[in-house]
Amino acid sequence: MDRIVVQGGGPLSGKISISGAKNACLTLMPATLLSEEPLTLTNAPRLSDIRTMTTLLQSLGAEVSCMQDGKVLAMSSHCADNHVADYDIVRKMRASNLVLGPLLARHGHAVVSLPGGCAIGARPMDIHITALEAMGAEIELKEGYLHAKTNGGLKGGDIALRFASVGATENVMMAATLAKGTTVLRNAAREPEIVDLALCLRAMGAQIEGEGTDTITIEGVTSLHGATHPVVADRIETGTYMLAPAIAGGTVELEGGRIGLLGAFCEKLDAAGISVEETATGLRVSRKNGRVNAVDVVTEVFPGFPTDLQAQMMALMCTAEGVSVLEEKIFENRFMHAPELIRMGAQIDVQGGTATVTGVDRLKGAPVMATDLRASVSLILAALAAEGETVVNRVYHLDRGYERVEDKLGACGARIERVNEND
């Protein structure tokens, strides 16, 4: 099993290219199941989660080819004839549940295992199920699988989500493209990944309005055609690498980064004393002067502060001037990185969904354990500023969402390497 070894203490300087968004690409890939014609995605990230979704689609009978070193995904579902998403694949990644809506819409039936993923809290399927049932689906849970079918196809409806779930919004959007009549989805998620999905579906012939707002309207069509679509830049990867020079010092340019995808996050960085400048190709990030200021953070649905940047922000706050309070309102059990940061000398007190961080002058390198995807990279960020060597174990989580992190940070002067236990 691989581990990441970091020698901390030096400032960063250089450029990092931002990859296509993992969460967007994982949503776009199942859209191929909606059409018999090819769907091609450009700017795809090269991640283990993308490989898992590829395996799942292929198990359903879709053809998926990776081109240009994996940055282009060419897909076709003209021969997709299997409607069972097996547990052995689905358990590896929560986004696997996004095949449910497309399979129901195009074929009228599907059997999909309940999904897996990081252990950061319960993300139940009930919102997905209730919404699809409002469109005429009959769904029954048997032995860990959702058995779904329709009687004469899905029908449009007026659906209000009890929570602005990103996954449920995406599943309903895809299902509604081929439903009979009009679907109005209220309290819809507004994340950039939702907008990117709408752009892709519209390129395939779907009739969608309102993406990026809390009300999305989809007029069903009889069929969708093929399309080529570029995956939007990864806002979470962007935010993560924005924090690297904030923690370690120095200046880093992020090619492809966009402030518009991270408004609330950028406001917190400004308050903490971090300079973020737009450039012709992306963003330039550095400290304004001296030690970072402590700021309070509350995670919220978009356009609020992203829960997927909470762990990384905590790493920054560990050496900030003063006391910061981080409140997690999206997922329970998402402070599993705190004990590992404490091993590095951080002062963190966790009480339920709130973490109080008292900044220290310096962190110390230590062996630590990655518990989930975002926790993994938060430990690497903390290690950049720590005194001595930090060894981050169980980094298979990291590879689910970050492409060549050791190469990208290493190109900016970080002393970081990936080591296999067999080496």
How wide is the angle at C-alpha 154 spanned by C-alphas 150 and 156, nearest 5°?
150
23 is in an annotated binding site: yes
Which contacts qualify for 275-279: CB closer than 8 Å, 24 or more apart? 276/242, 279/253
Give 271's contacts (C-beta < 8 A, 6+ positions apart): 293, 295
Rounded distance between C-alpha atoms, residue 244 and residue 240, angstroms: 7
129 is in an annotated binding site: no
Task: For residue 184, give the 3-state DSSP assignment.
Answer: strand
DSSP state of 82: -
Rounded distance between C-alpha atoms, residue 184 and residue 188, angstroms: 10
User: For tokens 């951080």, what's the residue?
Assistant: 346
Q: Is 118 a catalytic residue?
A: yes
DSSP structure string for 391-420:
EEE-TTTGGGT-SSHHHHHHTTT-EEEEEE
Rounded distance between C-alpha atoms, residue 423 and residue 408, angstroms: 22
82 is in an annotated binding site: no
Catalytic residue of the set 118, 200, 266, 412 = 118
94 is in an annotated binding site: yes
22 is in an annotated binding site: yes
Binding residues for UDP-N-acetyl-alpha-D-glucosamine are 94, 308, 330
Binding residues for phosphoenolpyruvate are 22-23
Binding residues are 22-23, 94, 308, 330
The catalytic site residues sit at: 118
